[in-house]
Amino acid sequence: MLFIDGHWIEGRGIDMSSHSPHNGTQLWTGASATDNQVNAALEAATEAFQVWSFQSFEARLEIARAYAGILKENKDKLTELISMEAGKTGWDAAGEATAMINKVEISVTAYQERTGSKEAVNGTLRSKLSHRPYGVMAVFGPYNFPGHLPNGHIVPALLAGNTIVFKPSELTPAVAEFMVSCWEKAGLPHGVLNLVHGGKETGVALTSSPLIQGVLFTGSAQTGIAINKSLAGRPEVISALEMGGNNPLIVHKVDDLEAAATLTILSAYISSGQRCTCARRLIVPEGPEGDAFIATLANMIDRIHVDQVTSDETAFMGPVITKEAADHVLKEQERLIAKGGAVIRKSERLSALGDAFLSPGLIDVSVATDVPDEEIFGPLLQLTRVSDFDEAIKTANRTKYGLASGLISDDRDLYEYFYPRAQAGIVNWNQQLTGAASTAPFGGLGHSGNHRPSAYYAADYCAYGVATIEQAEGKVVVASAPLGLKDK
Ligand SMILES: NC(=O)C1=CN([C@@H]2O[C@H](COP(=O)(O)OP(=O)(O)OC[C@H]3O[C@@H](n4cnc5c(N)ncnc54)[C@H](O)[C@@H]3O)[C@@H](O)[C@H]2O)C=CC1
Ligand SMILES: O=C(O)CCC(=O)N[C@@H](CCC(=O)O)C(=O)O
């Protein structure tokens, strides 16, 4: 169902449905929004802005806290829905649900620290800084974190006083609907948050509307660039683009190979490789030290448990989102092999579990030619062997993206050399690349985004600053002015 101006209504566009990648169970059916329905949602948000933006921050916060409370009460249900619709293991889905609940208090602190208001009196003058919301924001979410990532735009945008038309991924409409129903139960006034379903056409209807003042997007670089082009010539529309990555992870000078392999697996294969922070490129020195690490890693890869969601929670990986997504990963793997990639572990379809289940793959592309600088969104890691640490850094930075970059090493000097040279918005040392903190900014360079990081810095793109100087006494007084007025 769509949610427009506080009412749940049927979409009148094309039929849609969502099925669990775990077992094919149908979870949701409905229809996309027509252009008229998208417009009705935008008009509702425009009208609601006149009321919502004038409410006090405290009044908005009360509703946001009620929303967090409702999420908490329904955490098990939310976890199950995320797990089923996005194909996550139970523990992974529970982590997403927890992040959604925590987002409210983190966003309050961020709002106050990053935007909030300030005053200072100097003599008879008072200077003030306050922040105001932009207006109607179009929020787009990806399928891999169907709750947490759109929630990371919605919560700060609403706290700041904006209103929203939210278009979730067409692959995860049920989680979106659940989330919006929690806001409804929390008492959000009509029109403040609207939900429209649909694919690319619905997205285009939203971004091309003159009624939006902002686009808050998390998704692929391809779509982010399309949105960027569609907003050309509209400088008044704020756009925050969080896109993909082709993230490097260097392993160099490590004693505990098992620990390094564990961090590599957590970086590359968590959520079946469907996190934009996942390591895609593993960079390891040539020679026996590197060989020993790769043998340890390959051995551990063989022991990774891939499964449908189970009650005993022993699986590390579930399926990718669809059979088509799995086909794409396998096709890209073949492409790497055709370009000279050597198989260390081949990603294979685990048909006994289902069409969307893949085993983790590791392909050595050191001597391959024309390896595409593209994000392969699944459990496939590309290995490059390098002659020395400088070569490792050069290889790491050889990408048009710049989301996350990491080093696993016992050598602090290497880290201190790597840190200022790593071209990415997230730079980690002896820590998995995935699992970014919501209490820090989140975003990247190049095709990973447009320098408007989300998470803690989402507050920044949800409000603009207004600088004011006023007479503290409230009277019209001017002590002296160099007007050089002549006597009459
Ligand atoms: N940097 C970040 O914070 C994150 C980035 N991602 C990236 O997201 C991708 C996976 O998510 P997907 O759902 O496949 O992304 P996607 O780019 O296919 O879709 C994202 C959203 O944009 C909509 N959309 C598609 N074409 C559009 C257009 N021309 N105009 C407006 N809206 C349009 C989709 O319907 C969906 O709601 C991966 O590439 C991943 O790296 C995922 C999570 C976090
Ligand atoms: O948005 C936040 O609060 C922090 C960012 C975050 O949670 N990132 C996740 C995954 C998002 C993705 O990359 O797909 C992570 O770093 O694992």
Tens digit of each residue's pLDDT (9 = 90 or more) over 137-163: 999 999 999 999 999 999 999 999 999
Q: What does the alpha-carbon distance between residue 377 and residue 78 come to, in Å, rounded to a whole number?
A: 24
Task: Enter the DSSP assignment of 447.
Answer: G
Does the annotation count 184 as an active-site position? no
Determine how many CB atoms are found less than 10 A away from the CB of residue 223: 18
CB 227 within 8 A of CB 218: no
Sheet holding 118-122, edge to edge: 118-122, 125-133, 463-471
pLDDT for residue 441 is more than 80 = yes
pLDDT at 239: 97
Give the integer Cα–Cα distance in Å for 180 and 178. Answer: 6
In the predicted model, is pLDDT for residue 336 greater than 90? yes
Q: Give the closest residue to 371 by CA, choosing from 280, 291, 446, 448.
A: 280
**Average of pLDDT values for 322-341?**
98
Rounded distance between C-alpha atoms, residue 434 and residue 80, angstroms: 22
**Least distant ligand from the CA of 228:** 1
ipTM of this predicted complex? 0.92
pLDDT at 448: 98
Measured CA to CA, the distance from residue 122 to residue 386 in angstroms comes to 60
Region 50-76: mean pLDDT is 98
Q: What ligand 1 atom has the least distance to the C-alpha of 142? A: 13
Q: Is the CB of 455 under 6 A from ligand 2?
A: yes
**Ligand 1 within 6 A of 172 CB?**
no
303: which 2 tokens?
């022991």
* Residue among 184, 242, 332, 375 flagged as catalytic: 242
Nearest to 224 by CA among 142, 106, 103, 306: 142
Strand blocks (E) in 159-252: 163-167, 193-195, 214-218, 238-242, 247-251
Q: Does the C-beta of 275 come closer than 6 Å to ligand 2? A: yes
Asked whether 144 lines ligand 2 (CB < 6 A), one says yes
Centre of ligand 1 from the C-alpha of residue 294, in Å: 33
* pLDDT at residue 472, rounded to an integer: 86
Q: Using CA atoms, how far apart are residues 56 and 265, in angstroms rounded to an integer?
A: 46
Q: Which residues face 380 on adjacent strands?
A: 361
State the closest ligand 2 atom to the C-alpha of 456, by its place in the atom list counted from 1.
Answer: 3
CB-ligand 1 contact for 453 (6 Å cutoff): no
Report how far ligand 2's centroid is from the alpha carbon of 436 (Å).
5
Cα separation, 488 vs 485, in Å, equals: 9
pLDDT band (50, 70, 90) for residue 309: confident
pLDDT grade, residue 342 (50/70/90)? very high
Does 313 score more than 80 pLDDT?
A: no
Ligand nearest to the CA of 107: 2
Kindly report, residue by residue over 18-33, the tens digit of the pLDDT.
999 999 999 999 999 9
Report the mean per-residue pLDDT for the chain.
Answer: 97
Q: Is the CB of 149 under 6 A from ligand 1?
A: yes
Contact 458, 106 (CB under 8 A): no
pLDDT (mean) for 430-454: 96
Distance 448 CA to ligand 1 centre (A): 12
Q: What is the 367 CA–ligand 2 centroid distance (Å)? A: 32
Q: 371 alpha carbon to ligand 1 midpoint, in Å?
A: 23
Ligand that comes closest to the CA of residue 377: 1
Q: Select from 140, 167, 148 the least CA-distant residue to 4.
A: 167
Q: Per-residue confidence at 245, pLDDT binned at 50, 70, 90? A: very high
The atom of ligand 2 lying closest to the CA of 426 is: 16
Q: Which residue has the tokens 């960027």?
A: 228
Whether residue 220 has its Cβ less than 6 Å from ligand 1: yes
Q: Report the distance separating Cα 208 and Cα 347, nearest Å.
A: 40
At residue 254 the predicted structure's pLDDT band, cuts being 50, 70 and 90, is: very high
What mean pLDDT do residues 193-206 have? 98
d(CA 246, CA 377): 9
Name which of 195, 141, 211 is nearest 6 in CA terms.
195
Task: Determine the pLDDT at residue 479.
Answer: 72
pLDDT above 80: residue 361 = yes
